Amino acid sequence: MTTEKHGFEAEVSRLLHMMVHSVYSEREIFLRELISNASDACDKLRYEALTNSDLLKDAGEFAVDIRLDKDAKTIAISDNGIGMNKEDLISHLGTIARSGTSAFIDNISGDEKKDVNLIGQFGVGFYSVFMVADKVEVLSRKAGEDKAWLWVSDGLGEYTISEGEKDGCGTSIMLHIKDDADEFLDVHRLKNIIKTYSDHITFPISLISKNEDKEAKEEEKSEKVNDGTALWAKSKSDITEEQYKEFYHHVAHAFDDPSMTIHYRAEGKIEYTVLLFIPSQPPMDLFDPARKTKVKLYVKRVFITDDCEDLLPGYLRFMRGVVDSEDLPLNISREMLQNNPVMTSIRNAVTKRVLGELEKKAEKDKAGYIEFWNAFGPVLKEGIYEDFALRDQILKISRFESTADKGLSSLDDYIGRMKKDRDTIYYITADTLQAAKRSPQLEGFKAKKIEVLYFTDPVDEFWLQMVPEYEGKKLVSVTRGSADLDDKKKKKKKNTAELDALIGVLKTNLGEAVKDVRPSERLTDSAVCLVADDNDMDIHMERILKMHNKLEGGTSARVMEINPDNPLIKSLATEAVKDGSVDALKDASQILLDQAKIMEGDLPDDPVAFASRLSSIMTRSFG
């Protein structure tokens, strides 16, 4: 029989090196990882068998066995789940297939102390076995196939694969325990670990060991260790915080702690149980374009799928956990799940409930809610434009920074702080909070103490298109349209002849490059700024679309606003009434426009020309 030698993918080797030399104090998690994988494998086979009952021919009752042999210094974890063939072994146990694991690797710093903490933060799945074993043998047979395969490795860069012998499908993983890990060769210790981390696993977990009782007839004794009832089916009062946490780790394949747990049973026309968690750390694939939800669907305690788009909307894709329906048929296929009316009502009700729970948290636990918002706000806000029915509910729990510098506020907070006679919610959109704060367009609003909200997530531009007003107050961008900041009673200042002359000169010199030139009400310090005309696209939105090559036609010309009180504008205005001013102010006109673009965070249209104009002006003044 041939034995093939394979090298681990380079990244796996790095990871294994860490495991082999690990000083991580909670090495016991290896058992949780193996049991979790074994349970997943049983779930997968049960689901596959719904459409192909032949697969269960030789399977028997699903179970996980853990066999301890103190003398041989081995622990073997066996399941009768889906199993792995040769290709599976190579791709699942030889490469980094999981996003979580590759994120882990990206974060490895080389500083042992820091990296050890990462093990706890990211978890490392199967590879954690090399913290306690110096040799691992995986014997597996895939359901529906005849051949079994043996994968062997000492975790030092290589593994071998050869054909093996195995009755029935499933996987058996034999760990040869390291000398310094012999604490795990103890029945009581193993029992404790299983109880702590894996009590909620719904398949029976049996611990098999040599019978210490010399009188007994059997050489071995076997004991079922876990409780085995689905955690979500228990009543809340019977579940400890710890148990929720461990279940979350298992169901989410995550290692942080849940920041929120939502557990309830819906009774009525449609019956189902919900146990959902909000992570405390954003999952790595949160901004994956596929926007997949990961919540698992069960039917009467039987796992159906974790790939069910209709269970929760994409903007709640950070949620993890389980929905268990009493009404769907057990043999439901992926196709039957699509557009299924039971699924639709569950989805609508669960979504509303989650938003309601978030609203409660926002009221009761402000600091906790802000943490949630910082992690998941940008995702939740996708719902404002996607989910017409729940738009107002999502807007209500959305939070934004503002010029009031009061930290994150709700729209209701903003309205509460607004002067009675105002009917406008002002905002500015920008790429970052710093960029927003620097915007010259804010000057007049600050001077008049009118609060402006900062919208700094790309998603903000999109929902803003759908939401013209909130609670009867118009939402208005400060970089758009004419700003009417003065109290209605006060008369507008009249332009001087000089200012009018300057406006004329600028219009002639800039031509098509600007849509209009006008005196500004929003500037108090800066000389110029650009604003979008009432009917044009917002400047920031245009930039986002341009970045993604989604802009049809070119960028639109902007309105240039000049500040009549600014010293530079004043002296330019004095020049503007003199003969030949159009030519004399050619460079100055262009520089004013370029300056406004730079303040927007854009480049001048022609940076080289900009630099040469600036040099010639500096030469004139210093020369």
In the complex, the residues that contact Mg ion under the rule CB under 5 A are 36-37, 125
State the DSSP string of 306-356: S--TTSS-GGGTT-EEEEEESSS-TT--HHHHTT-HHHHHHHHHHHHHHHH
CB under 6 A: which stretch of 82-90, 158-166, 285-293, 451-459 binds ligand ADP? 82-90
The distance of closest approach from Cβ of residue 58 to ligand ADP in the complex, given in angstroms and rounded to an integer, is 16
Binding partner at 28 among Mg ion, ligand ADP, none, C-beta below 5 to 8 Å by kind: none
For residue 198, state whether it binds ligand ADP (rule: CB under 6 A): no
Binder among 29, 38, 295, 592 for ligand ADP (CB under 6 A): 38
Phi, psi of 549 (to 5 degrees): 55, 35
Q: Of all residues in the chain, what percent are helix, strand and coil, respectively (each to 5)? A: 45, 20, 35
Report the chain's terminal Cα–Cα distance, integer Å.
89
Token reading at 196? 């702590």
CB under 6 A: which stretch of 35-43, 274-282, 446-454, 571-579 binds ligand ADP? 35-43
For residue 324, state whether it binds ligand ADP (rule: CB under 6 A): no
Q: How far apart, in whole angstroms, are the C-alpha atoms of residue 173 and residue 159?
A: 14
With respect to Mg ion, which residue has the nearer C-beta, 29 or 593?
A: 29
Residue type, 525: D
Binding partner at 278 among Mg ion, ligand ADP, none, C-beta below 5 to 8 Å by kind: none
CB under 6 A: which stretch of 75-83, 111-119, 186-194, 552-560 binds ligand ADP? 75-83
Q: Which residues of 259-298 are buried (b: 16+ CB within 10 A; e: fewer)?
A: bbbbbeebeeebebbbbbbbbeeebbbeeeeeeebbbbbb
In which region does residue 580 sit, left (phi positive, over 0), alpha (psi from -120 to 50) or beta (all else)? left
Binder among 22, 37, 398, 526 for ligand ADP (CB under 6 A): 37
Binder among 80, 153, 171, 273 for ligand ADP (CB under 6 A): 171
Site for ligand ADP in 83-102 (CB under 6 A): 83-84, 92-93, 98
Binding partner at 254 among Mg ion, ligand ADP, none, C-beta below 5 to 8 Å by kind: none
- Nearest residue by C-beta to Mg ion? 125
Among 408, 252, 230, smallest CA distance to 317 is for 252
Site for ligand ADP in 117-136 (CB under 6 A): 125-126
State the DSSP string of 87-143: HHHHHHHHS---HHHHHHHHH--S-HHHHHHHHHHH--GGGGGGGTEEEEEEEEE-T
For residue 253, state whether it binds ligand ADP (rule: CB under 6 A): yes
Q: Which residues pair with 274 in a beta bridge?
A: 264, 323
With respect to ligand ADP, which residue has the nearer C-beta, 59 or 532?
A: 59
Site for ligand ADP in 560-579 (CB under 6 A): none
The distance of closest approach from Cβ of residue 166 to ligand ADP in the complex, given in angstroms and rounded to an integer, is 13
The distance of closest approach from Cβ of residue 197 to Mg ion in the complex, given in angstroms and rounded to an integer, is 12
Among 20, 277, 251, 296, smallest CA distance to 136 is for 20
Residue type, 362: A
Site string for ligand ADP, 360-399 (x = CB under 6 A): ----------------------------------------
| Contact footprint for ligand ADP (CB under 6 A) | 33, 37-38, 41, 79, 81-84, 92-93, 98, 125-126, 171, 253
